[in-house]
Amino acid sequence: MYLGIDSSTQSLSGMLIDLESGRILQEASVNFGADLPHYSAPSGFIPGGSNGEVHSDPRMWLEALDLMLSRLSAQTSLATVKAVGGSGQQHGSVYVDDTFVSRLQSLDSSGNLFSQLSPAFSRATSPIWMDTSTGRQCAEIAAAVGGNSEVCRITGSVAVERFTGSQIRKFFQHDPAGYQRTGRIHLVSSFICSVMSGCHAPIDFGDGAGMNLMNLASCQWDESMMSATAPALWEKLPALAPAGSLVGYIADYFVKKHGFAPECKVGVFTGDNPASLVGMGATAPGQVVISLGTSDTFFAGMTEPHTDPRGFGHVFGNPGGGYMCLVCFRNGSLAREALRDQLGLDWQDFEAPALAVTPPGNKGNLMLPFFGPEITPRRDFDGPVRKGDAEFEAGENPPAQVRALLEGQFLNMKRHTDWIGIKADCIRLTGGASRNNGIAQVAADVFGAPVERLSIANSAALGAAILAAVTDGCDMATLQNMFCKTAADSRVCPTTGVDYSHALCEFAALLG
Ligand code: ADP
Ligand code: XUL
For residue range 183-204, what is the model confidence (pLDDT) as tens digits? 999 999 999 999 999 999 999 9
pLDDT value at residue 423:
83
CA dihedral of 273, 310, 138, 210, whole degrees rounded to 10: 20
pLDDT at 3 (0 to 100): 98
Would the pLDDT of 424 be above 90? no
Quick one: pLDDT at residue 294?
96
- SS3 percent helix, strand, coil of the chain, rounded to 5, is 40, 20, 40
Predicted confidence band of residue 488 (pLDDT cuts 50, 70, 90): confident
**Residue 471 counted as domain residue:** no
What is the tens place of the pLDDT at every residue in 234-247?
999 999 999 999 99
Distance of CA 370 to the CA centre of its chain: 19
In a domain, 71, yes or no: yes
How many domains does the structure of the chain reveal?
2
Q: Is residue 404 part of a domain?
A: yes
Q: Which of 224, 246, 268 is the last residue of a domain?
A: 268
Q: Is residue 463 part of a domain?
A: no
Distance 406 CA to ligand 1 centre (A): 14
Bridge partners (DSSP) listed for residue 87:
6, 270
3-state secondary structure of 17: strand
Residue bearing the CA closest to ligand 2, atom 9: 90
Same domain, 343 and 404: yes
CB of 5 closer than 8 Å to CB of 87: yes
Confidence band, pLDDT 50/70/90 cuts, at residue 309: very high
Question: Span 477-499, mean pLDDT?
Answer: 95
For 342, the 3-state DSSP assignment is helix
Same-domain pairing of 221 and 369: no
State the DSSP string of 47-102: TT-GGG--EE-HHHHHHHHHHHHHHHHHHS--TT--EEEEEE-SS-EEEE-TTHHH
* Any atom of ligand 1 within 6 Å of the Cβ of 459: no
Percent of the chain with pLDDT over 70: 100
What CATH number did the domain enclosing 510 receive?
A: 3.30.420.40
Q: Are 313 and 130 in contact (CB under 8 A)?
A: no
- Mean of pLDDT over the chain: 97
Domain extent at residue 405: 280-454+490-512
> Half-sphere exposure of 456 toward its Cβ, with a 13 Å CA cutoff?
30
Q: Does residue 294 line the site of ligand 1, with CB under 6 A?
A: yes
User: In ligand 2, which atom is closest to the CA atom of 130?
Assistant: 7
* 436 Cβ below 6 A of ligand 1: yes
Calculate Rg over the CA atoms of the chain.
Answer: 22
Nearest ligand for residue 430 CA? 1
Centre of ligand 1 to C-alpha 173, Å, is 36
Ligand nearest to the CA of 270: 2
Taking Cα atoms as reference points, which of 203, 236, 200 lies closest to residue 104? 200
pLDDT at 224: 98
**Given the CA of residue 314, which atom of ligand 2 is nearest to it?**
6
Same domain, 230 and 315: no
- pTM for the predicted model, two decimal places: 0.97
Check whether residue 260 and residue 286 sit in a common domain.
no
In a domain, 96, yes or no: yes
156 located within any domain: yes
Same domain? For 22 and 163 the reply is: yes
Whose Cα sits closest to atom 6 in ligand 2? 328
Q: Is 90 in the pocket of ligand 1 (CB under 6 A)?
A: no
Indicate if the pLDDT at residue 322 is higher than 90.
yes
**Element of type H or E holding 192:** helix 188-197
Output the furthest CA–CA distance in the chain (Å, rounded): 66
351 alpha carbon to ligand 1 midpoint, in Å? 15
**Atom 11 of ligand 1, residue of closest alpha carbon:** 432
- The answer to whether position 472 is within a domain reads no
Question: Both 287 and 246 in a single domain?
Answer: no
Average pLDDT for residues 455-469, to the nearest whole number? Answer: 96
* 164 and 118 in a common domain: yes
Burial 457-488 (b: 16+ CB within 10 A, else e): bbbbbbbbbbbbbbbbebebeebbebbbeeee
Q: Is 351 in the pocket of ligand 1 (CB under 6 A)?
A: no
Does residue 489 register a pLDDT over 90? Answer: no
Residue whose CA is at the smallest distance from ligand 2 atom 5? 89
pLDDT in tens, 206-252: 999 999 999 999 999 999 999 999 999 999 999 999 999 999 999 99
Which residues are bridge partners to 260 per DSSP? Answer: none
Same domain, 221 and 294: no
Q: pLDDT tens across 332-346, in order?
A: 999 999 999 999 999
pLDDT tens, position by position, 248-277:
999 999 999 999 999 999 999 999 999 999
Where a domain ends, among 212, 241, 268? 268
Instruction: Indicate which atom in ligand 1 lies nearest the CA of residue 294.
Output: 3
Nearest CA to ligand 1 atom 8: 293
Give the H or E element holding residue 451: strand 451-453
User: In the predicted model, is pLDDT for residue 178 greater than 90?
Assistant: yes
> Is residue 382 domain-shared with residue 253, that is, in the same domain?
no
Last residue of a domain, one of 240, 268, 296: 268
Are residues 367 and 253 located together in one domain of the fold?
no
**Does one domain contain both 235 and 345?**
no
204: in domain: yes
Q: Which residues line ligand 2 (CB under 6 A)?
A: 8-9, 89-91, 129, 162, 210, 271-273, 293-295, 297, 326, 328
Residues 346-402: pLDDT tens digits? Answer: 999 999 999 999 999 999 999 999 999 999 999 999 899 999 999 999 999 999 999
Residues 262 and 289 placed together within one structural domain of the fold:
no
Q: What is the pLDDT of residues 1-48, one digit of tens each?
A: 999 999 999 999 999 999 999 999 999 999 999 999 999 999 999 999
